[in-house]
């Protein structure tokens, strides 16, 4: 049990504050009672030690000892543009309502909560004025799964017999109540196995009772290509102008601007493609903020020092969020850092892809259990999951013989290369034996993938 707790706490990064409610963005924080304790004012969607704090809810004399902990990423930089100094911050808060790892937790649950939901807030503070721009990401809000099977990319499956529209409506109803109108930016492919999800998501948006307040913007990231991402940002600019951002000048009694809507971006993992688009939307927001604060009216792209800081922070932010969900650093961060794809970035993506394959197939079962124990989801009410419900335990009593396949495969592969390396000559008998071993390897590999769920 202790190993499981350490596993979760060793994942970057957890934050708390003695004086500030870290669970709420600046605009949302203005709607809370400043006299409340942190535990009273907290948005418990983002509190990761919620289960530990529950015994103290009715003990106000102990509230000063209760600090809500958030999980996500925080970057704060002191920067300058045109000789004007300002504080720029990026804060991401991960939802604790549907925690899980990349392949074990996908889609929505019956409470409208989605996997890998993260609220990201960009803050600028200068000369008594402060701005806040909020975006979100989260798994496609329908019932679907993509359980690990030892394949590099398991095919996603839309669950039959589930009320997808209700799950969708509950999720977006909550988003609209919290943020206002929603632009659903969907970056998955329109063809292949992702295409079925894309079509279903689009139909759910059209058929929703919330449709008047949801705008669907699809963009096949891989088919369109890197050079056309700016076209997507241009398409979204009208929404960005309409939604505005939160802006408050301390010399005024009320906020000058409030944000009235949000961009909810997703790809399959809500990591790599999502990071690229969110960073570009954040950059567009900075142009408006800097103009309003009098920092810079034009030519922000020419300020190379700040642009470098901006791109590196967003890439580092992408890495942290990716480690939390997928277990490795993000991919495609070379584009975020440099504005183009590089050979070094492609090689780095290859390494991360291999690392994800190993971790997602062989280590995430333990990590998933650890997360649910830490959050208190195992054996705690209607939203709990029992150990028997995990894919890692599927049919453990069946096919006992298949458990020897990995070891047999390793032994035969080792024998194949040892014979190949140390045989003095490759005669017909040696060749036939090597051919026999190669056939065995092929058969065992097919069996390994056939019974893949038994080994993850």
Instruction: Going from the first residue of the chain to its last (456 residues), give the mean pLDDT of each consecutive group of 10, the final group possibly shorter.
Output: 90 95 95 88 97 94 96 97 95 98 96 98 97 99 92 91 98 98 98 96 98 98 90 97 96 88 98 97 96 85 86 97 95 88 90 89 90 80 45 44 75 86 77 86 80 65
pLDDT given at position 338: 87
Q: Which residue has the tokens 């099977």?
A: 149
Is this model's pTM higher than 0.95 or not? no
Q: So where are the chain's domains?
A: 1-375, 400-454
pLDDT given at position 389: 46
pLDDT given at position 398: 47
CA distances 220 to 25, 104, 315, 333, Å, are: 31, 25, 22, 18
Q: Which residue has the tokens 């549907």?
A: 98
Contact predicate 342/364, CB 8 Å: no
pLDDT given at position 339: 84
pLDDT given at position 421: 82
In sequence order, the β-bridge partners of residue 246 are 132
3-state secondary structure the chain: CHHHHHHHHCCCCEECCCCCCCCCCHHHHCCCCCCCCHHHHCCHHHCCCHHHHHHHCCCHHHHHHCCCCEEEEEEEEEEEECCEEEEEEEEEEECCCCCCCCCCCCCECCCCCECCCEEEEEEEEECCEEEEEEEEECCCCCCEECCCCCCCCCCCEECCCCCHHHHHHHHHHHHHHHHCEEEEEECCCCCHHHHHHHHHHHHHHHHCCCHHHEEEEECCHHHHCHHHHHHHHHHHHHHHHHHCCEEEECCCCCCCECCCEEEEEECCCCCHHHHHHHHHHHHHHHHHHHHHHCCCCCCHHHCHHHHHHHHHHHHHHHHHHHHHHHCCCCCCHHHHHHCCCCHHHHHHHHHHHHHHHHHHHHCHHHHHHHHHHHHCCCCCCCCCCCHHHCHHHCCCCCCHHHHHHHHHHHHHHHHHHHHHHHCCCCCHHHHHHHHHHHHHHHHHHHHHHHCHHHHC
Nearest to 272 by CA among 89, 137, 98: 137
Side-chain half-sphere CA neighbours of 173 within 13 A:
10
pLDDT given at position 390: 45
Nearest to 359 by CA among 389, 329, 331: 329
pLDDT tens for each residue of 393-436: 444 444 456 667 777 888 888 888 888 887 777 778 788 888 88
Alpha carbon of residue 214 to chain centroid: 21
Nearest to 455 by CA among 150, 80, 105, 38: 150
Q: How far apart are alpha carbons 45 and 40 in whole angstroms?
A: 13
Contact predicate 438/416, CB 8 Å: yes
* Residue 249 host element (H or E): strand 246-249
Nearest to 100 by CA among 120, 114, 83: 114
As given in the structure block, the two tokens for residue 354 are 């291999």
């Amino acid at each position: 049990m202790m190993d499981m707790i350490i596993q979760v706490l060793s994942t970057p990064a957890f934050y708390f504050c003695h004086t500030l409610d870290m669970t709420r963005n600046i605009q949302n924080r203005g709607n809370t009672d400043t006299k409340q304790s942190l535990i009273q004012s907290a948005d418990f969607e983002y509190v990761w030690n919620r289960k530990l704090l529950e015994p103290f809810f009715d003990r106000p004399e102990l509230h000063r000892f209760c600090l809500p902990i958030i999980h996500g990423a925080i970057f704060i930089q002191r920067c300058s543009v045109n000789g004007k100094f300002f504080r720029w911050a990026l804060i991401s808060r991960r939802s604790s309502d549907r925690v899980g790892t990349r392949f074990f937790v996908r889609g929505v649950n019956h409470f409208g909560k989605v996997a890998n939901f993260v609220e990201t807030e960009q803050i600028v503070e200068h000369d008594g004025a402060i701005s806040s721009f909020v975006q979100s990401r989260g798994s496609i809000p329908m019932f679907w799964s993509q359980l690990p099977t030892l394949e590099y990319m398991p095919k996603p499956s839309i669950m039959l017999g589930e009320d997808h529209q209700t799950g969708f409506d509950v999720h977006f109803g909550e988003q609209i109540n919290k943020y206002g109108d929603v632009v659903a930016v969907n970056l998955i492919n329109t063809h292949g196995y992702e295409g079925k999800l894309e079509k279903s998501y689009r139909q759910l948006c059209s058929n929703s009772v919330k449709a008047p307040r949801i705008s669907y913007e699809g963009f096949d990231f891989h088919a369109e290509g890197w050079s056309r991402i700016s076209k997507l940002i241009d398409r979204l600019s009208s929404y960005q102008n309409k939604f505005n951002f939160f802006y408050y000048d301390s010399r005024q009694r009320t906020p000058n601007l409030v944000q009235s809507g949000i961009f909810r971006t997703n790809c399959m993992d809500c990591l790599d493609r999502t990071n690229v688009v969110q960073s570009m939307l954040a950059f567009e927001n900075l142009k408006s903020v800097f103009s309003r604060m009098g920092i810079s009216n034009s030519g922000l792209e020419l300020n190379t020092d700040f642009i470098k800081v901006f791109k590196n922070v967003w890439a580092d932010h992408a890495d942290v969020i990716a480690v939390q969900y997928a277990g490795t650093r993000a991919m495609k961060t070379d584009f975020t850092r440099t504005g183009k794809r590089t050979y070094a970035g492609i090689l780095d993506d290859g390494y991360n892809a291999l690392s994800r394959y190993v971790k997602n197939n062989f280590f995430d079962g333990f990590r998933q259990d650890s997360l649910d124990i830490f959050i208190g989801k195992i054996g705690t009410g209607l939203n709990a999951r029992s150990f028997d419900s995990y894919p890692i335990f599927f049919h453990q009593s069946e096919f006992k013989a298949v458990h020897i396949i990995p070891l047999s495969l390793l032994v035969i592969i080792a024998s194949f290369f040892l014979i190949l390396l140390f045989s003095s000559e490759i005669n017909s008998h040696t060749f036939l034996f090597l051919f026999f071993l190669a056939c065995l390897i092929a058969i065992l590999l097919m069996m390994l993938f056939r019974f893949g769920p038994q080994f993850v």
